[in-house]
Amino acid sequence: MWDNPKNLLSRQDIENLQTELLRENIDYAFSNVKFYKEKFSKIGINKSSINSIEDIQKLPFTTKEDFRDNYPFGLFAVPMKNIVRIHASSGTTGKPTVVGYTKKDIDTWSDLVARVARSASVTDEDIVHIAFGYGLFTGGFGLHYGLEKLGAAIVPASSGNTKRQIMLIKDYGATVLVCTPSYAMHIAEVAKELGINPKEDLCLRVGMFGAEPWSEGLRKKLEEALGIKAYDNYGLSEAMGPGVAGECETQNGMHIYEDNFIAEIIDPDTGRPVKDGEYGELVITTLTKEALPLFRYRTRDITRLNKEKCACGSIFARMDKPIGRTDDMMIIRGVNIFPSQIEEVLFGIDGISPHYQIVINRVGALDDAVILVEANEHLFFDDMKHQRMLVDEINAELKSALGIEIKVKIVEPSSIERSIGKAKRIIDNRKI
Amino acid sequence: MDTEVYKIDQISVFIENKKGRFFSVTKVLKEAGVNIRAMSLADTVDFGILRFIVDKPKVAYDALMDKDFIARKNSVLAIAVDDECGGLSNLLGIITKEDLNVEYMYTFINALEKKAVMLFRFEDIDVAIEKLLSSDVELLNRDYIKNV
């Protein structure tokens, strides 16, 4: 199975390795990151505080706010000379969350993604069509480098123009499809409209899907519609990007690469670990990153861990698909969005924050979101030209702040439902 | 000369393009005892702008705002044109010649015998008044409209 002996470490080996790497990493961060030096000094933590893996609980948490407070490069442990790549994801407000990679990090990352791909049965014989956007988002480049390392032939199609994507998949004989699960469904639907039967006319055999939540129901549909086996994988840019965890051919939870990460599940309210197998917030510690070592990062994703040995032979803990978030982050078309980002744009236009609501639907296979904004005296003009200009301006601001197109619709005052005086900000009608 | 008398008060209301919204606006005006003299509706897929000339603009505005509508008060000009072939064309010829920008216009039906009354929203109302007064155009003042 998956060709990598590390995947077959015993629980004891894993814990010994994790403890050792954690101790070294604490030393490393202490010497190279002011933020950690101060944080660890304050509570008297150093490498000798860690004698077993349970001792990780002595460390303080790291949060998205810490990234914001240290924007852009304050958490980096190496000089910019050693940084070879920058990626970014949504911040809760204003500035995005910035991450950096050294040459060695890119290598480690590629190895991890290669292992995720290999566990999903992908080999160097495969032709892989990547329809993730290539850019600051870690999905595109992360999968690209990992699959290249594996030796697969990559078609870096990036996002957009579905008909052309289908033509490429068909003509180049892609055997593996990499994108969000909802976009994969969209590809299946558009192919059908074009008179292409994906099962007969395409060579696809594996889908590696991620970047957004999806259900077992959607998996079955995708497998049926495209004639593939559909694998889930998990990652977040703060920890690396894709490559943190991925499903094996058993398709029963995503194996976390515990030789590179420590995963904990905590009660989001108390910060205490939950009992084995219970749901809680996933907390990730990186063990092998140079540019951006991360300690007990609160992912805000709610999931649970299964530490039993998998049918595939690996003991690596398996995480369930996240079932929700502890914050109000939304994932729309694979892009992370916080209501606070939208609020900021609206405030910038108007000077006062109007009542608004984000309504998300799934139209066909794709997410369709609209932001309802209640009209007020600043948002209403007597003539269409100005009214349109205002809407266009808000749309443009939103696109630049969010990275995807979400349109606003001006609605009448008091038409957005309020509960106990407070407007409900998100209506998510997607059946995922 | 006081050009203010030519500025006719207009109320604009934002309405969503959905069932019953137009009715709700007229109901508010009815309950406030306001009589609608002229109106127009500009609409898009999502929303519409209702514009009214009413006998009691302030009462209408307050009543609408009170009922959670978003309304705006502004001014338009009323111009009488001969109700015959070429009447409107002649007027628009003058407006074009004077280089005045019209944002929108609508009609005031059955206002005068043998004449139609057009309501114009100009980009710059003061310039429009000045130029139209010196042209061969029948600009109607506030009182005239009130008595229609």
Judged against a pLDDT cut of 50, whether residue A1 lies above it is answered with: no
Calpha distance A320→A414 (Å, rounded): 40
Calpha distance B125→A328 (Å, rounded): 48
- Smallest Cα distance from A414 to chain B, Å: 7
Whether B2 and chain A come into contact, CB under 8 Å, resolves to no
Judged against a pLDDT cut of 90, whether residue A178 lies above it is answered with: yes
Judged against a pLDDT cut of 60, whether residue A143 lies above it is answered with: yes
Check which CATH number belongs to the domain holding B29 and give it.
3.30.2130.10
Yes or no: say if B46 and B27 are a contact pair by the CB < 8 Å rule.
Answer: no
A376, B103: Cβ pair inside 8 Å? Answer: no
Give the pLDDT confidence score for residue A423 in this predicted structure: 63
Query: Quick one: CA dihedral B120, B126, B127, B130, positive or negative?
Result: positive
Calpha distance A260→A244 (Å, rounded): 8
Yes or no: say if A330 and A337 are a contact pair by the CB < 8 Å rule.
Answer: yes
Confidence grade of residue A341 (pLDDT, cut at 50, 70, 90): confident
Helix (H, G, I), strand (E, B) or coil at B55: coil
Judged against a pLDDT cut of 90, whether residue A204 lies above it is answered with: yes
Instruction: Dump pLDDT digits (tens) for B82-132.
Output: 888 998 999 999 999 999 999 999 988 666 777 888 899 999 999 999 999
Query: Quick one: CA dihedral B70, B73, B75, B76, positive or negative?
Result: positive
* Residue B95, both tokens: 């407006």
Residue with tokens 């033509």: A167
Enumerate the residues of chain B whose CB falls inside 8 A of the CB of residue A411. 16, 47
> For all residues of chain A together, what is the average pLDDT?
92
Q: Are B68 and B94 in a shared domain?
A: no
Enumerate the residues of chain A whose CB falls inside 8 A of the CB of residue B12. 380, 382
- Smallest Cα distance from B39 to chain A, Å: 13
Looking at A8-17, A113-122, A157-166, A408-417, which range is the least confident one?
Answer: A408-417
Structural domains of chain A in order of their starting residue, each with its CATH number: 1-326 (3.40.50.12780), 330-428 (3.30.300.30)
Calpha distance A159→A333 (Å, rounded): 11
Residue of A nearest to B25 (CA): A412
Provide the β-strand partners of residue A208.
A178, A231
Give the pLDDT confidence score for residue A36 in this predicted structure: 97
Q: Are B69 and B79 in a shared domain?
A: no
Instruction: Dump pLDDT digits (tens) for A380-393.
Output: 888 888 888 999 99
Enumerate the residues of chain A whose CB falls inside 8 A of the CB of residue B21. 412
How crowded is residue A171: how many other Cβ atoms within 10 Å of its Cβ?
9
**How confident is the model over A148-171, as a mean pLDDT?**
96
B47, B74, B121: best to mutate for the A interface, most A CBs within 10 A: B47
**How confident is the model over A91-112, as a mean pLDDT?**
91
Calpha distance A203→A125 (Å, rounded): 13
Q: Are B98 and B61 in a shared domain?
A: no
Run of H or E residues at A166: helix A162-171
Domain ends where: B45, B74, B103? B74
Calpha distance A342→B128 (Å, rounded): 41
> b/e for A176-200, b at 16 or more Cβ within 10 A?
bbbbbbbbbbbbbbbbeeeebebee
B70, A414: Cβ pair inside 8 Å? Answer: no
Give the pLDDT confidence score for residue A349 in this predicted structure: 80
Check which CATH number belongs to the domain holding B139 and give it.
3.30.70.260
Q: Which amino acid is at A156?
A: P
Whether B131 and chain A come into contact, CB under 8 Å, resolves to no
Q: Are B86 and B142 in a shared domain?
A: yes
Sheet holding A127-130, edge to edge: A153-155, A127-130, A176-179, A206-209, A229-236, A241-247, A254-256, A318-319, A305-306
Bond preceding residue B57 cis, omega within 30 of 0: no
Closest by CA position to B24, among listed B59, B56, B54, B50:
B50
Calpha distance A92→A74 (Å, rounded): 17
A412, B21: Cβ pair inside 8 Å? Answer: yes
Enumerate the residues of chain B whose CB falls inside 8 A of the CB of residue A380. 12, 14, 70, 72
Give the pLDDT confidence score for residue B136 in this predicted structure: 86
Residues 6+ apart with CB under 8 A from B91: B79, B81, B118, B137
Calpha distance A107→A240 (Å, rounded): 11
Judged against a pLDDT cut of 80, whether residue B147 lies above it is answered with: no
**How confident is the model over A312-331, as a mean pLDDT?**
92
Query: Quick one: CA dihedral A367, A268, A261, A13, positive or negative?
Result: negative
Q: Are B62 and B79 in a shared domain?
A: no
Calpha distance A224→A207 (Å, rounded): 12
As a whole-number percent, the residues of chain A with pLDDT over 90 amount to 75
Domain ends where: B74, B104, B135? B74
Closest by CA position to A116, among listed A283, A300, A248, A295:
A248
Q: Are B69 and B80 in a shared domain?
A: no
* Residue A425, both tokens: 């900000």
Enumerate the residues of chain A whose CB falls inside 8 A of the CB of residue B15. 412
Calpha distance B27→A382 (Å, rounded): 21
Enumerate the residues of chain B whose CB falls inside 8 A of the CB of residue A375. 14, 70
Q: Which residue has the higher pLDDT, A421 or A218?
A: A218
B49, A409: Cβ pair inside 8 Å? Answer: no
CA distances from A361 to A193, A357, B73, B127 (A): 22, 13, 37, 49
Closest by CA position to A2, among listed A240, A342, A250:
A250
B70, A375: Cβ pair inside 8 Å? Answer: yes
Q: Which member of B46, B49, B70 has the closest CB to residue A377?
A: B70
Q: Can you count the helices (H) and strands (E) in chain B? A: 5, 7
Closest by CA position to A172, among listed A208, A131, A140:
A131
A413, B69: Cβ pair inside 8 Å? Answer: yes
Whether A378 and chain B come into contact, CB under 8 Å, resolves to no
Enumerate the residues of chain B whose CB falls inside 8 A of the CB of residue A413. 68-70
Strands A280-286 and A407-411 turn out to be unpaired
**How confident is the model over A389-406, as a mean pLDDT?**
90
Q: Are B16 and B67 in a shared domain?
A: yes
CA distances from A185 to A162, A173, A191, A198, A218 (A): 11, 19, 10, 11, 8
Q: Are B83 and B64 in a shared domain?
A: no
Burial class (CB in 10 A: 0-12, 13-18, 19+), A106: middle
* Residue A160, both tokens: 């957009």
- Smallest Cα distance from A162 to chain B, Å: 27
Structural domain containing residue B136: 75-146
* Residue A193, both tokens: 């409209």
Calpha distance A242→A384 (Å, rounded): 46
Give the pLDDT confidence score for residue A419 in this predicted structure: 60
Whether B12 and chain A come into contact, CB under 8 Å, resolves to yes
Judged against a pLDDT cut of 70, whether residue A309 lies above it is answered with: yes
Strands A407-411 and A366-374 turn out to be parallel
Most confident of A76-80, A93-97, A309-313, A386-390: A76-80
Residue of B nearest to A376 (CA): B70
Would you list the DSSP string of A270-323? Answer: T-PBPPTT--EEEEEEESS-SS---SSEEEEEEE-EE-SPPTTS--S-EEPPP-
Give the pLDDT confidence score for residue A284 in this predicted structure: 98
A380, B70: Cβ pair inside 8 Å? Answer: yes
For residue A239, the Cα-to-chain-centroid distance in whole angstroms is 10
Enumerate the residues of chain B whose CB falls inside 8 A of the CB of residue A388. 44
**How confident is the model over A92-105, as a mean pLDDT?**
89
* Residue A136, both tokens: 């600051």
Say what the alpha-carbon torsion angle A86, A20, A62, A338 is, to the nearest 10 degrees: 50
Interfacial A residues in 98-137 facing B (CB < 8 Å):
none
Q: Are B97 and B125 in a shared domain?
A: yes
Q: Are B65 and B90 in a shared domain?
A: no
Q: Are B70 and B85 in a shared domain?
A: no
Instruction: Dump pLDDT digits (tens) for B17-51.
Output: 888 889 999 999 999 999 998 999 988 888 899 99
Provide the β-strand partners of residue B11.
B52, B73
Q: Which member of A379, A380, A409 has the closest CB to residue B46?
A: A409
Judged against a pLDDT cut of 60, whether residue A296 lies above it is answered with: yes
Provide the greatest CA pair distance for chain A.
72
Whether A410 and chain B come into contact, CB under 8 Å, resolves to yes
Domain ends where: B20, B41, B74? B74
As a whole-number percent, the residues of chain A with pLDDT over 70 amount to 96
Q: Are B111 and B141 in a shared domain?
A: yes
- Smallest Cα distance from B72 to chain A, Å: 7
A350, A376, A412: best to mutate for the B interface, most B CBs within 10 A: A412
Enumerate the residues of chain A whose CB falls inside 8 A of the CB of residue B44. 384, 388
Enumerate the residues of chain A whose CB falls inside 8 A of the CB of residue B125. none
